[in-house]
Amino acid sequence: MPSLILGITLTIINLVGYSAMAGAIGGGGGLGDLAIRFGLYRFQTDIMIVSVIIIILLVQSIQYLGNKLSNVINKKIRGNNIEKVHFNFINYCIIFYHIN
């Protein structure tokens, strides 16, 4: 289930990126079109910078929320076995070190 959520997150991020590129190339509207039409062609760098920052913040917020949701669901599935896994890994390293 957590990997499914991470896959959906990646799909949403790709859709945001492709829509920004399609708007910039095809002129179909959106943030990419706004950045190219007003920022680049009219030499208004402030509009271009703000558009790019908005796109970056949108992608980063989607990624953050997807990771948080995946972690919450992953902890509900696993329970509190994090300490046990860490303890077993340390024991394995100690045993492996003593054997060699």
DSSP string of the chain, one letter each residue: -HHHHHHHHHHHHHHHHHHHHHHHHH--SSHHHHIIIIIITTT-HHHHHHHHHHHHHHHHHHHHHHHHHHHHHHHHHH-S-HHHHHHHHHHHHHHHHHH-
Going by pLDDT thresholds of 50, 70 and 90, the confidence category of residue 100 is very low
Judge whether residue 83 has pLDDT over 70. Answer: no
Mean pLDDT of the 75-89 span? 56
pLDDT in tens, 49-78: 888 888 888 889 899 999 988 888 887 766
Query: What does pTM read for this prediction?
Result: 0.64
